[in-house]
Amino acid sequence: MKIDLTKLTIIEASKGLKNGDFTSVELTKAFLNKIKEKNEEVKAFITITEEMALKQAEKADKMIKIGEIYPLTGIPCAIKDNILIKNIKCTAGSKFLEDYIATYNATVIEKLEKMGVVFLGKTNLDEFAMGSSCENSAFFPTKNPRDLERVPGGSSGGSAAAVAADLCVYALGSDTGGSIRQPASFCGITGLKPTYGTVSRYGLIAYASSLDQIGPLTKNVDDAKIVFDAIKGSDPMDSTSINSDKENNLAKLKIGVPKEYFAKGLDGEVEKAIKEAIDIYKELGAEIIEISLPMSEYALACYYIIAPAEASANLARFDGLRYGKTIKDEEAEKIIDIYLKNRTEGFGKEVKKRIMLGTYTLSSGYYDAYYKRALKVRTLIRQDFEKAFEKVDAIIGPTSPCLPFKIGEKSDDPMSMYLADIYTVSVNLAGLPAISIPCGKSQSGLPIGMHLIGVPFQEEKLLSIASLFEKKYDNK
């Protein structure tokens, strides 16, 4: 029987390419065919870059022939549509950028291109990465490949769905409050949010700059490590970017379980799966320590002041003059008409709400009560984690308090939607690395994700801890 090329992990695909079992062009065509067949149903992609992909595959095959092989050479991937690829449309899921063609490559794209990676296309997201379900995309909602009536999570829902439906080997996403980990959890795949600063954001359309981070969505932990290694590193084009550590000592492994994470409100089936995962770590010889993160309950409120405040500043650049949505000449008399009309017509409801919320909390009279106070609470949240990491190597919990919900179920109720990120936002506020990996299924077969939070800049160790579980869990 012929193997299904679209099911391969990065490691398997790379081995096949090296051995000459198949070429990158064959691998790429297998994915393009699968996308043609399944994207209509899943709606993971906004743009499919067939022509570019085939050219890149040909180039990769040449590289392989002369022995210039990196771990990602010739491997087809998908890119969230808020990361710029030169000469390719980049919409950020917004009408504002419906026809915008990127004029340069993001640093992560530049790095991958040098290794001979194949880009299959750009994936759907909540508009400007603001959302937890992919329903806020201005174009169409993406569906969860594990159950088409449900959301894939968000905002990197298109990337997660593409990986889960075998429409690419891996994908890149961005994570501001859980946007890589929560969709990874909902789609039953692996998603890594690296430490703030370890991956350059140059060429990522900014949402909240003190929180945004690019990271991989993959089929397993080993693949996540390969992609992270390929995209990490300091970059002169992003002044916040720095190099990560090599620390990776798993002797006397201690894992912390925050008591606040298992309060009422957590779905029973999710809770059960996480407790079973904790037992697996026990079996593996890890010491399980109960810890306390008393500030957890303030994280979401803190996030919903800081993220919109930064968004209101970042999205001020969308004026419709230099790029993006442009109204007709006769509709405007003064420059302010151009701003008003472009922004009003170009942005969706959720984006407008967050811009206004941020404008409000930053405005005179409210700045101290909201924004400044949130920055102080952010310090307390950081200190919570710093204290915890004096005792443990990693913190375990659920990625999301609930199972993937139905499309439309929460779209009218913003607060209930925001709650889906209750476990993930604190990690961004503290700048920590964290990973979501599958750890079980509900009775109805929906994926459940486990969230492991690590020490800043110790991604290697975090990935090793995740891998320990994954190997044991896969063999069960």
* Residues taking part in catalysis: 80, 155, 179
Compare residues 245 and 267 and give the one whose CB is closer to other proteins. Answer: 267
Cβ atoms 162, 125 nearer than 8 A: no
334 lies in the binding site for other proteins (CB under 8 A): yes
User: Which position among 114, 275, 391, 406 is part of the footprint of other proteins (CB under 8 A)?
Assistant: 406
Residues 229-248 touching other proteins, rule: CB under 8 A, are 236, 239-240, 242
Place of tokens 């290694």: 229
In angstroms, what CA-CA distances link 227 with 7, 69, 108, 199? Answer: 17, 15, 10, 11
Place of tokens 């998603």: 191
User: Which position among 22, 26, 262, 414 is part of the footprint of other proteins (CB under 8 A)?
Assistant: 414
User: Which position among 401, 438, 440, 447 is part of the footprint of other proteins (CB under 8 A)?
Assistant: 401
Compare residues 207 and 469 and give the one whose CB is closer to other proteins. Answer: 207
Place of tokens 């500043």: 313
Half-sphere exposure of 296 (CA within 13 A, CB side): 20
264 lies in the binding site for other proteins (CB under 8 A): yes
The answer for residues whose C-beta is within 8 angstroms of residue 359's C-beta and 6 or more apart is 312
d(CA 144, CA 445): 12
250 lies in the binding site for other proteins (CB under 8 A): no
End-to-end distance of the chain based on CA atoms, in angstroms?
Answer: 26
Strands 170-175 and 213-218: antiparallel
133 lies in the binding site for other proteins (CB under 8 A): no
User: Which position among 403, 437, 439, 455 is part of the footprint of other proteins (CB under 8 A)?
Assistant: 403
Compare residues 34 and 143 and give the one whose CB is closer to other proteins. Answer: 143
Compare residues 120 and 450 and give the one whose CB is closer to other proteins. Answer: 450
103 lies in the binding site for other proteins (CB under 8 A): yes
Instruction: Spell out, one character per residue from 352 to 381, where the chain touches other proteins: x when CB under 8 A holds, - when not.
Output: xx-xxx-xx--x-----xx-xxxxxxxxx-
Nearest to 25 by CA among 98, 74, 96: 74
Compare residues 246 and 322 and give the one whose CB is closer to other proteins. Answer: 322
330 lies in the binding site for other proteins (CB under 8 A): no
292 lies in the binding site for other proteins (CB under 8 A): no
d(CA 463, CA 452): 9
Spell out where 339-462 has E strands.
394-398, 434-441, 447-454
d(CA 31, CA 23): 13
User: Which position among 20, 40, 252, 265 is part of the footprint of other proteins (CB under 8 A)?
Assistant: 265
Residues 293-312 touching other proteins, rule: CB under 8 A, are 297-298, 300-302, 304-305, 312
